[in-house]
Amino acid sequence: MGQAKSRRRTCTTPPPRGQEIRGWIDLNLLPQELLVLILSWVPGRTLVTCGRLVCRQWRDLIDGPLLWKLQWERDPLKREALPAALEVARRCPRMEWARVGILQPFGRNLIKNPRGEEQFQHWQVGHGDGMCLGGNTCWISQLIDLVKEGLWEDLLDSFQPDIFISDWWGTHEKCGCTYNIYVLLLAADKNSVIARFVTEMDPTEEWNVPFQQASHVFRQYGPGVRYLRFQHIGNRPGVEHTEAHITNSTVLVKLSQ
């Protein structure tokens, strides 16, 4: 007699109601410390766009500091921004952790393409080609939406963090060009000027000013600031072209020490 063949029995009918096999785990049953650790491995944008909608507990965790601290401590690029964010949270009780966690507005240069590479990408250039003849003046400008970069209205109006700017300006001895920096803090209409910084050149030394670093801190500038315009303006007395120069333009937001 031969051995009977072994046959695998397959289930062709679903299990009775109430006996379904569950392939998921209710994460809310985990201790909160473990839940925070698990969620901290989820990409930040996914946490905000999807995770906050799961339940009130997840929303509160994502809106709080613990989860974002874990993410920043793992990422060397974000680790440096953690002290600044903690200082803001200490002074600003209404800290928007999810917003800060994704956009990282503190301690990050808000100027895009700060050296004017990539064919002046992100910059507006006078006459559109980087050089101009009209009025012997050339300008390069960048408008920064402070709210879009990660700040929020209540922070800008009530706490008014310092806005630090720096760059280089002066004259170009070989061609007689002068360069000046204009930085404006603007209201929501993008036109109303709330505060400004302008480099000033002594007329008696107009063509003998070596390039030097200019820096300024906007502090206690008042409510209503929503935009910052960073602009270089170059002038030349003759009819030759004036070239636009950018040398590591910087805009940083941080709190007063």
Tens digits of residue pLDDT in 165-185 = 998 776 655 555 667 788 999
**What is the pLDDT averaged over residues 5-21?**
47
- Do 158 and 182 lie in one domain? The reply is yes
What pLDDT was estimated at residue 21?
43
Three-state DSSP at 204 gives helix
Model confidence at 163: pLDDT above 90 = yes
Strand pairing partners for 233?
139, 180
Range of the domain at 94: 27-103
Same domain assignment for residues 209 and 175: yes
Residues 82, 170, single domain; the answer is no
Q: For residues 215 and 212, what is the distance between their CA atoms, to the nearest angstrom?
A: 10
Assign 190 a pLDDT band (cuts: 50, 70, 90): very high
Do 135 and 224 belong together in one domain?
A: yes
Of 103, 129, 146, the residue at which a domain comes to its end is: 103
pLDDT mean across residues, the chain? 77
| 10 domain residue, yes or no | no
Distance CA 225, CA 208 (A): 36
Phi, psi of 252 (to 5 degrees): -125, 145
The answer on 172 and 220 residing in a single domain is yes
What number is the average pLDDT over the span 156-163?
A: 91
> Which residues, in sequence order, are bridge partners of residue 250?
166
Residue 64 has pLDDT above 70, yes or no: yes
SS3 198: strand
How many independent structural domains does the chain possess? Answer: 2
Is the model's pLDDT at 79 over the cut of 50?
Answer: yes
pLDDT of residue 146: 96
- What average pLDDT does the segment 86-92 reach? 78
Neighbour tally for 17: CB within 10 Å:
6
Does position 18 have pLDDT exceeding 80, yes or no? Answer: no
Task: Tell whether the model's pLDDT for residue 96 goes beyond 80.
Answer: yes
Give the strand pairing for 177-186 and 162-172: antiparallel
Q: Residue 234's domain is classified under what CATH number?
A: 2.60.120.260
Q: Which residue has the higher pLDDT, 188 or 202?
A: 188
Residue 110 lies in a domain: no
Task: Give the pLDDT band (50/70/90) at residue 235.
Answer: low
Tokens of 136: 């012997």
pLDDT of 189 higher than 90: yes
Instruction: Answer whether residue 97 is part of any domain.
Output: yes
One domain for residues 153 and 212: yes
Quickly list DSSP for 109-141: --SSSTT-HHHHTT-EEGGGSSEE-GGGEEEEE
Distance CA 122, CA 141 (A): 9
Task: For residue 257, give the nearest of 91, 101, 114, 116 by alpha carbon.
Answer: 91
Burial class (CB in 10 A: 0-12, 13-18, 19+), 257: exposed
Q: Identify each DSSP E strand in the chain by its residue range.
A: 124-125, 131-132, 137-145, 162-172, 177-186, 193-198, 212-218, 227-235, 242-243, 250-254
Q: What is the mean pLDDT of residues 142-169?
A: 91
- Mean pLDDT check: name the lowest of 46-50, 95-99, 124-128: 124-128
Q: Which CATH number goes with the domain that contains 50?
A: 1.20.1280.50
CA angle (67 as vertex; 106, 82 as ends), nearest 5: 25
Same domain, residue pair 192 and 223: yes
Query: Tell me: the pLDDT tens digits for 123-139?
Result: 887 753 444 434 566 77
> Do the beta carbons of residue 113 and residue 122 sit within 8 Å?
yes
Encoded amino acid at 107, one letter: G
Confidence of residue 115 (pLDDT cuts 50, 70, 90): confident
Predicted local confidence at residue 176, as pLDDT:
56
**Are 248 and 200 contained in the same domain?**
yes
| 12 confidence band (pLDDT: 50, 70, 90) | very low
